[in-house]
Structure 1
């Protein structure tokens, strides 16, 4: 299983629990020190050292490099968990010219998934369904996503975050239409409000942080993700889940036509054909 954003929060909690169950993991993270800590945490519960790769998803060249390397070193990828996320200021675009939140949360995962697509298909051909799971959010409801220009600068980081979460769902819809005939099952999930470094920077935390009980631990937030990675009930192409049950989303985030337009513009943005 390949997990992005594996060095903290939900990604780390997921890695530890999957390792406890005996799964072989590949961890991706941006911060080298936190990634080393994640490797140690996984090794402690599994007695095995997971593969780990440092990559900054705000740099598409690094995503391309790590994706190409993984594809060369792995014969199969049974599960790809696109969990890396960021809530960035909008003052400056990335080196690739895109809104940093949209690039980290959508475009980088879009690129990585395509780079590993042959490995996912090989898994589906030989071992049964392969899974692509993306961490979404109820923030999709306030997103202002221009599907023709997904990387354009947003007016605020909150709008950028919501737009990126719309993109996560639309990616799942379009990927399911394309890839489910090959045995690849794309799904998306909402973990709830999480008590983590990322959660403390969110608008929702600012609004309701005075009521800590409303926030879940990363381990609790990871429960649906782990369920989607392991259980047959999660094999619903294009499904959106929370608390291990189907979850509703706005029509803007599930519209097949918008999903197709976003797909084409994301191909162009990431240099894919």
Structure 2
């Protein structure tokens, strides 16, 4: 019997590549994406990779807590078990934007909503695995538990993105401490050739710069972290490859910050 894998951000890039690999292994995959057309195209690719087996799908925008709650309700209703939750949804916002929920859009989409989704699915994730897509860009930003709405006067797209990715790493480590029955890790997928970025110049870089990692190669790491024997992984670790975990920047391994951020986000997301 195959595993049940939920992949957020599954309609393109690393998430889609990993979903195809999971399907090829015989796993049952549920794709979560924001854009209906891209999601439909991704479903077709994952169906083919799985030899005709139909993947699940759900459209949700992670800049809306209401949509994340609806997604969680759907997953709890339709899936008797979840073996892996791949918290892979994310992106970069070029200009400061506050969501309808009152938070800076990059932080909400990349971290607050994945935190909320994981928390809502927590009981279904017992003895399961949560793999969080972080980034080496975490070195560029430190999350502030007291300023989750950000500051429009000081906004920097890269700093906001880095802070959200540092929060992903802190979350994986704190989840390992609070939920020891769940295997929780984070990883840097590499600088992946994709449609990622904010602004024309950044998007062109991520499409055409030499030396970029393919989504398929990055997806392999996500799949390995999701399927490797539990004994081969370090609980709460941050991975840059299949070797032992890497050491993140000091602010992304601050246990006190991780705990404070957790408590503040739990309050913020209800």
Normalising by structure 2, what TM-score? 0.91
| Structure 1 residue 193, shift from structure 2 partner | 0.4
Greater share of helix residues, 1 or 2? 1
Match of 2:218 in 1: 221
CA distance in 1, matches of 2:210, 2:232: 28
Which deviates more, 6-15 or 92-101? 92-101
Normalising by structure 1, what TM-score? 0.90
Give yes or no for contact 2:196–2:203 (8 Å, CA) kept in 1.
no
User: Per the alignment, in what secondary structure is the counterpart of residue 214 of structure 1?
Assistant: coil
Match of 1:235 in 2: 233
Q: Which runs of 4+ in 1 moved over 6 A?
A: 202-206, 208-211
RMSD between aligned alpha carbons?
Answer: 2.0
User: Per the alignment, in what secondary structure is the counterpart of residue 28 of structure 2?
Assistant: coil
2:268 is the alignment partner of 1:264: no
2:44 is the alignment partner of 1:45: no
Unaligned runs of 5+ in 1: 125-129
Give yes or no for contact 2:194–2:207 (8 Å, CA) kept in 1.
no
Mapping of residues 240-259 of structure 1, within 5 Å: 240-245=238-243, 246-259=245-258
Mapping of residues 59-78 of structure 1, within 5 Å: 59-78=64-83
Give yes or no for contact 2:76–2:124 (8 Å, CA) kept in 1.
yes
Unaligned runs of 5+ in 2: none
Give yes or no for contact 2:139–2:162 (8 Å, CA) kept in 1.
yes
| Structure 1 residue 234, shift from structure 2 partner | 5.0
**Number of residue pairs the alignment of both structures matches:** 261
CA distance in 1, matches of 2:223, 2:197: 20
Match of 1:99 in 2: 104
Mapping of residues 146-185 of structure 1, within 5 Å: 146-153=144-151, 155-180=155-180, 183-185=181-183
Deviations 1:219-265 (A, max 9, x none): 11112111001111553210110121222211100111000000011
| Structure 1 residue 10, shift from structure 2 partner | 0.3
